[in-house]
Amino acid sequence: MRKYLLLLVFIMSSSLVYAQSLSDSARIARLAIELELQITDNPGLQEPVDLSVSQAPLAEFIRAIGTQNKVNISVSEDVKGNVSNTFSNVAVSDVLLFLAKQYQLDLQFTGSIIHISPYKAPPAPPKIRIPPSVAVDYDTATEHISMELRQDTLAKVAKSITQLSGKNLVYAPDLGMKRLSIYLENVPFDQAMDKLAFANQLQISKTEDGFYLLENAVSKGASDAGIQSPKRFRDLKRSSSGAIEVDSNLISLYFKDEPIMSLLESVFGALNQQYFLYNQIPGNATLNLQKVSLDELLNRLFEGTDFTYKPQNDIYLIGDREMQGLLESRQIGLLNRSVEKVVDYIPRNLSKDIEVKELEELNSLIVSGAYPQVEQLASFLESIDKPVPVVIIEVIIVDYQRNFNVSTGIEAGVGEQPAASSGGGVYPGIDYSLNSQSLNEIIRSFNGFGTLNLGPVTPNFYMNLKLLETNGLLNVRSTPKLSTLNGHEATLSIGNTEYYVVEQVNIQGVQNPIPTTTRNYQSVEANFTLTVKPMVSSKDQVTLDIEVEQSDFTARISPEAPPGNVSRKFSSMIRVKNNEIVLLGGLEEKSANDTGSGLPLLSRIPVLKWLFSSRTRSDSKSKLNVFIKPVIIY
């Protein structure tokens, strides 16, 4: 019963293995079942094996196992190789199964005889082919295609190729009835599509999602006239170890460990660009770039190497960077700024291996070096050659002073000596002094009126009469202006100088000293100084580092003394919008004074106090404000 069950399993597994092309594991399983079935006819298959061999011929080793264990084994002459193994207490069937797996052997059973030969894989199942309407054949294993087209329409050809290969071909609507003719035999698919398009005046493109697009090629006349048809996808070019795709002179490529010489040949061939090599370029490169220009690709490829390139007359010259023919000399002019000190702003990595000189007469730089480095430096200079804003600073200084003073009263008394002659002002204010003589004349003029009779005053008697009011208003407004470039400091200074005398007396001699007087004139300055440094940022914002100092002369304490001096100083950093006025700072001062002297009680009675007292009242107010207004001019 067991024998029939094993036979049934063997038949089912054989059918399954054949249907699935007999994988290696299935083959070994089949042999294990067949050896199990042979144990009844060959009991020696269960005998233990104890052997240890080194570099023994495989065929002789198998024969020795059969002879020792009385198993009928026939070994094919095609069984080659040596065996080095040690087996201890292992059944003969297990040893044969191990050798079949290890050395790719096949076991065939005829009765009790086991024939051992090299394993040969069964032939592949026949290809399932859909009969095409045109002569197209595609091998799915190698992805090679053969075709023989004789005036077949593009619609039928595209349908047949898509059905056989599973790769979609899409063509322009007006090309469906275009007749195609070509003969190709066992060609890689992409190369076949490229040749199919070339032979029938078509242009083929491959999209990133694997579609192949067919459209009319650009005619030679249109190409000579500089007319290019619009490209929606990239031309297909392939190399042995990578891929290059070109779209409007932008390159997308992938190469892994590709020789640089082969890479250059593929890139320039894809672009139909002429180039000249001065010498061989050793080494390999791995690149994966998307949509870069040829110059960008060469910059990445030669960066950090001793090689460079230079385009000249539509030809790319490539070689060692020290070669004379690859050096570039160029004048780079600046349009918006001075060339002075520009060299100091160039980063060190850009000026390395490049000679840079200033040409002040033409406001330019003379640059000499390898072409890529010169291009990078020119790009950097262009980025900093921008119009520098001019900032006009308007500083408004308002000095406002207002004062009010009232002096009234009658003052009389007896001095130590006779007063001077009478006199003073009576209009617009009264400030008059009377001596004793004037007062006696006034008294005599009153005598004789009725019973009024006043005696004379003493000679030292005096009287002062004051009735005076003053009002003052001073409003000074100064608006200094100055202009400067952004980031540069500007200074404005306006002032006045006065002098005073310094006398120095030197005595010369001892017995007969002679005094010598030396007069020197010393100066004192009163200035208005404005220092500002603007920095323009985005959105018309101006940051100002500003310092204002103002000094004025005051009255001298004596005619020969130096003039007094009062100063005001302001320093700040603020941010202001363009054309806006802001208050930087200011000083406001108020003072009030009300004094009086007179007879007790009477000096406080309204109206009478003006006759029996002397009063002084003053009130003053002053303001100093500093405003600023920046104006940006581009």
Q: What is the pLDDT of residue 240?
A: 44
Burial of residue 340 (CB within 10 Å: 0-12, 13-18, 19+) is exposed
Which of 477, 480, 486 lies closest to 629, judged by CA? 480
Check whether 70 has a pLDDT greater than 60: yes
Predicted structure pTM score: 0.43
CA distances from 83 to 45, 59, 60, 99 (A): 20, 9, 10, 9
| DSSP codes of every residue in 397-435 | EEEEEEEEEEEEEEEEEE-SS-----EEE-SSSEEEEEE
Residue 611 has what pLDDT? 66
Same domain, 348 and 431: no
Distances (CA, A) of 567 to 213, 469, 564, 607, 620: 85, 31, 10, 44, 20
Q: What percentage of residues in the chain have a pLDDT greater than 70?
A: 78
Question: Which of the listed residues 469, 486, 508 is the one where a domain comes to its end?
Answer: 469
The verdict on 273 and 350 lying in the same domain is: no
Of 53 and 466, more confident: 53
**Same structural domain for residues 627 and 478?**
yes
| Res 138 pLDDT > 70 | yes
- Residues 238, 586: Cα–Cα separation, whole Å: 78
Q: Is residue 224 part of a domain?
A: no
Question: Poorest-confidence range of 79-83, 162-166, 218-222, 491-495?
Answer: 218-222
Q: pLDDT tens digit string along 534-559?
A: 998 878 888 988 888 878 777 777 77
Does 148 have pLDDT greater than 50?
yes
Provide the pLDDT for residue 453: 47
| Rounded-to-integer distance, Cα 89 and Cα 47, Å | 9
Q: Please, what is the average pLDDT of the chain?
A: 77
Is 56 in a helix, a strand, or coil?
A: strand
User: pLDDT, tens digit, for every residue of 165-202?
Assistant: 888 888 888 888 888 888 888 888 888 888 888 888 88
Residues 518, 504: Cα–Cα separation, whole Å: 5
Of 374, 322, 323, 383, nearest in space to 365 by CA: 374
448 falls in which pLDDT band (50, 70, 90)? low
Looking at residue 366, what is its pLDDT?
92
Residue 198 confidence (pLDDT):
84
Question: In this structure, are 267 and 342 located in the same domain?
Answer: no
Looking at the predicted structure, is the pLDDT value of residue 506 above 70?
yes
C-alpha to C-alpha distance for 156 and 159, rounded to whole angstroms: 5
Same domain for 491 and 574? yes
Residue 220: pLDDT band with limits 50, 70, 90 = very low
Which pLDDT belongs to residue 125?
62
In which domain, by residue range, is 158 found? 135-216
Structure confidence by residue, pLDDT tens digits, 99-134: 878 888 888 888 778 888 888 777 766 555 544 467
CATH of the domain at 375: 3.30.1370.120
Q: Which of 4-18, 303-317, 438-452 has maximum average pLDDT?
A: 303-317
- pLDDT at residue 456 greater than cutoff 70: no
**153 plus 197 within the same structural domain:** yes
Same domain, 300 and 425: no
Whether 8 has a pLDDT exceeding 50, the answer reads: no
Q: How far apart are CA 45 and CA 94, in angstroms?
A: 8
3-state secondary structure of 280: coil
What's the pLDDT score for residue 436? Answer: 61
Domain count within the chain: 6
Of 305, 320, 335, the last residue of a domain is 320
Q: Is there a single domain that holds both residue 290 and residue 352? A: no
How many C-beta neighbours within 10 Å does residue 407 have? 17
